[in-house]
Amino acid sequence: MKILVINNDGGGFADYVDVADGTTVDQLFAKHCQSSNPSNYLIRVNRQPCARDQRLQEGDRISFTPTKIEGAAHDPLTRSSHVSEDRH
């Protein structure tokens, strides 16, 4: 069966892929994001959050969006404190 896979990690991509009947969200994630931890991603099927054991169906749209971005500041207040210091 054919589904649309949207991977928003890094440069991102979207493409139709063929998967076997009965493929679960977890199986598809393992195939497309081999070295990643699913708990670091927001995974949606047809724009709705889903369970890892949900079985995909013909025409589904699945997206993988990372919730943690490498290199991002850990404390967003750190930047604002520098801004306020520069204004004085």
Q: What is the mean pLDDT of the chain?
A: 83
What single string gives the DSSP state of each residue in 20-70?
A: -TT-BHHHHHHHHSTTS-GGGEEEEETTEE--TTPBP-TT-EEEEEESS-T
Report how many domains make up the chain: 1
pTM of the model: 0.72
Domain range holding 41? 2-86
Average pLDDT over residues 1-29: 92
CATH number for the domain that contains residue 70: 3.10.20.90
pLDDT above 50: residue 81: no
Q: Compare 84 and 24 and report the one with higher pLDDT.
A: 24
Is the pLDDT assigned to residue 23 strictly greater than 90?
yes
Measured CA to CA, the distance from residue 59 to residue 38 in angstroms comes to 22
Q: Tell me how far apart the alpha carbons of residues 75 and 60 are, in angstroms, rounded to a whole number.
A: 37
Tell whether the model's pLDDT for residue 55 goes beyond 50.
Answer: yes
